Amino acid sequence: MHFEQRSSVRNASILVACVLLPALAVGCAAGDPQFTAHAPAGFWMGLWHGAIAWVTLVISLFSDQVRVYEVHNAGGWYDFGFVLGLACISGGGAHSSRRKAVPDTHSHREWVEIGKKVERKLQREIRAWAEGEPTDDWDAVGSKAEAKLKEKLNAWADDDQGPPTP
């Protein structure tokens, strides 16, 4: 076969698959009248309905005959199958748990080292400040904070409509 013929056969196969697979999936979709309160859908149908949930969701937007979830089901086993089928098709969350590796470049290592130096210096400065002697400035700040707190609490206690806004 020539390249053009193979390409057209491939395109036709993809088109048939895109039309045929959703049609087959809808044929076994939730909302099938074969399921009743006396003959509910069980685990295996839940598994299938979970696997085709994305297809049936799209189709259910345009059709009242197709549902994503079977109302007449066996309860917990149907639910378990549905969630399991949905997780299997959706990747089960494995995609979100992967982290992208940070490139190990010279520039990246330099920034990491700078960050560590800044962190160490901040720790030293905060420790020196915390262990230092209190000054008159801190007494003035403490007095102002105490006065402001008393003012806000008195206003709040006098007002029955709730706490004051900052």
Quick: pLDDT tens for 10-45: 777 776 666 656 655 555 666 666 677 778 888 888
CB 48 within 8 A of CB 85: yes
Q: Rounded distance, CA 67 to CA 110, Å?
A: 56
Per-residue confidence (pLDDT) for residue 128, from 0 to 100: 80
Per-residue confidence (pLDDT) for residue 22, from 0 to 100: 60
Per-residue confidence (pLDDT) for residue 145, from 0 to 100: 83
Could you tell me the CA-to-CA distances from 9 to 12, 19, 35, 36, 140 in Å, in that order?
5, 15, 40, 43, 85
Contacts of 68 (CB under 8 A, 6+ apart): 30, 49, 53, 56, 57, 60
Length of the chain: 166
For residue range 93-151, what is the model confidence (pLDDT) as tens digits? 665 556 666 667 778 888 888 989 989 888 888 888 777 766 667 677 778 888 888 88
Per-residue confidence (pLDDT) for residue 28, from 0 to 100: 60
Higher-confidence residue of 160 and 121: namely: 121
Tokens of 163: 């706490």
Higher-confidence residue of 58 and 19: namely: 58
Taking the model in full, what pTM does it have? 0.42
